[in-house]
């Protein structure tokens, strides 16, 4: 079963909104389970996940270290997990659809809404 690109974009936006509304570790655990299931269904390998995070990992570590000093370990850890999940979810969207396909579908979707 293929999902249209419009729905993939809408689902990704909902995912981002939910991700930034979470505050407890239980909610992060639920999001992790759903993200892991989605990666397994899409055949998004662990290597693909590492490849998506590799270039931004030093920046994430630096931001977490700064937040440990300013806000505490728990806030820094939650922010690190949140941004990591955001990158993995966005990479998953691009893994299952090409950027040109998303752009073309988005253009058609915008014209339909008008």
The domain in which residue 92 lies consists of: 5-108
Instruction: For residue 51, tell me if it sits in a domain.
Output: yes
pLDDT at 101: 61
Calculate what percentage of the chain has a pLDDT beyond 70.
Answer: 76
Instruction: For residue 38, tell me if it sits in a domain.
Output: yes
For residue 106, pLDDT beyond 70: no
Instruction: For residue 113, tell me if it sits in a domain.
Output: no
C-beta of residue 12 within 8 angstroms of C-beta of residue 42:
no
Instruction: For residue 41, tell me if it sits in a domain.
Output: yes
Taking the model in full, what pTM does it have? 0.69
Instruction: For residue 52, tell me if it sits in a domain.
Output: yes
Number of structural domains in the chain: 1
Instruction: For residue 32, tell me if it sits in a domain.
Output: yes
- Angle at which helix 5-21 crosses helix 73-96, to 10 degrees, equals 180
As a whole number of angstroms, the distance between CA 81 and CA 91 comes to 15
pLDDT at 16: 85
Instruction: For residue 30, tell me if it sits in a domain.
Output: yes
Q: Taking residues 67-93, what's their average pLDDT?
A: 83
In the chain, the DSSP E strands lie at none
Instruction: For residue 114, tell me if it sits in a domain.
Output: no
Average pLDDT, whole number, for the chain?
Answer: 78
Q: Which residue has the higher pLDDT, 29 or 48?
A: 29
For 6-33, how does the pLDDT look when each residue is reduced to its tens digit (9 = 90+)? 777 787 788 888 888 888 999 999 988 9
């Amino acid at each position: 079963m293929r999902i249209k690109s419009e729905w993939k974009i809408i689902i990704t936006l909902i995912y981002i909104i939910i991700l930034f509304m979470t505050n407890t570790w239980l909610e992060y655990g639920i999001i992790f389970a759903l993200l892991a299931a989605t990666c397994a269904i899409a055949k998004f390998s662990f290597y693909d996940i590492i490849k998506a995070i590799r270039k931004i990992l030093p920046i994430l570590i630096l931001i977490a270290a700064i937040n440990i000093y300013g806000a505490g370990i728990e806030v820094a850890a939650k922010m690190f997990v949140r941004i990591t999940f955001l990158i993995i979810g966005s990479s998953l969207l691009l893994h299952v659809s090409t950027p040109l396909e998303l752009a073309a579908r988005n253009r058609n979707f915008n014209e339909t809404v008008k």
